[in-house]
Structure formats: structure tokens, C-alpha cells
Amino acid sequence: MSLIESRLAELGVTLPDAPAPAANYVPYVVTGNTVYVSGQISMQDGALITGKLGEGMTTEAGAAAAKTCAISLLAQLRAACGGDIDRLVRVVKLVGFVNSTPDFTEQPKVINGASDFLVAALGDKGRHARSAVSAASLPLGVAVEIEAIFEIA
């Protein structure tokens, strides 16, 4: 087991298989030492986490949904690295989209669910630049979608 996967196991997380794309795109692109991972939607155990923040979904539930996106991002990274996720040098950037009402303003707290998890799992390698924005809706009605850029060795 890799060092990163051992740390994830300590946190009670096992990486799933990388989710297949839902449309006409690739799940990731590797160019040089950079991996661009397509947006990963909030889902757990194969079930979509749907909802709209500010309308029946709490910030805490949104943060939990964002964490599931981060887990999928790491699963895609592992696939991009041919199974060797320990090639990770650092998380460079996250771009998080939150399905929310126009008056909802806690997008950063929602995306913290992913950011906090990545730092807990990866230490300094998990610290990253980030954007957290609102969307009127997201694919399949999911609560959160997050894309990422990683540096690998």
C-alpha cells in the first residue's frame, strides 16, 4: 500500500475506482508533470449527493459533499499516475462549484470540506490555491463539483 493510501486508511478512507466520465470528455489529462482532473461530482457509494445550498441543504452537508469530490479527485490522480499515487508532489489548485441559491454566501465553507480533507490526508502537499464559486445548477442536480490541478514527479 502506498504512503498516501496508508494515510487515507488512517482517516478511514479507501479510494474507490476512478469514476468514469459521464459525457464526451476524458477524466484527466497528463502533460509533463501536471495532471488536470476534470470536475468530480459529489457522490458516495455510487449514489449522487444532490441538493441546493441555501434551500434545504446545510453548509455542513455541502462540506461533506465536497469531501466526496476530493476523494474522487484522488482516485482520478491515482489512475493518472498508473496506480502510483505517491508520485504526487502537491495539489496545485482546486476550482469548486457549489449548487446554491442566489443569496447563499458560504461557498468557501462548503469547499473547505475538500480543502480540509486534502490537507489532513496529504499534509503540506495538500495545500493549494483555490476558487469557490456558486452555480445556479450543476449536472444531475449534484450539490458540489470540484476540478483540480496536481503536480506529479
CA distance 61 to 66: 9
Tell whether the model's pLDDT for residue 130 goes beyond 90.
Answer: yes
Q: Are strands 144-152 and 88-99 parallel, antiparallel or unpaired?
A: antiparallel
Mean pLDDT of 56-78: 98
Model confidence at 59, in pLDDT bands (50, 70, 90)?
very high
Number of domains, the chain: 1
Query: Residue 52: which CATH number?
Result: 3.30.1330.40
User: 18 in a domain, yes or no?
Assistant: no
User: 20 in a domain, yes or no?
Assistant: no
User: 35 in a domain, yes or no?
Assistant: yes
CA distance 76 to 47: 18
CA distance 42 to 70: 9
CA distance 30 to 7: 24
Mean pLDDT of 117-143: 98
Tell whether the model's pLDDT for residue 33 goes beyond 90.
Answer: yes
Chain centroid, CA 138 distance in Å: 15
pLDDT score, position 32: 98
User: 19 in a domain, yes or no?
Assistant: no
pLDDT score, position 119: 98
Mean pLDDT of 11-15: 97
Mean pLDDT of 22-34: 96
Domain that holds residue 46: 3-11+30-152
User: 53 in a domain, yes or no?
Assistant: yes
pLDDT score, position 89: 98
Mean pLDDT of 83-104: 98
CA atoms within 13 A on the CB side of 64: 10
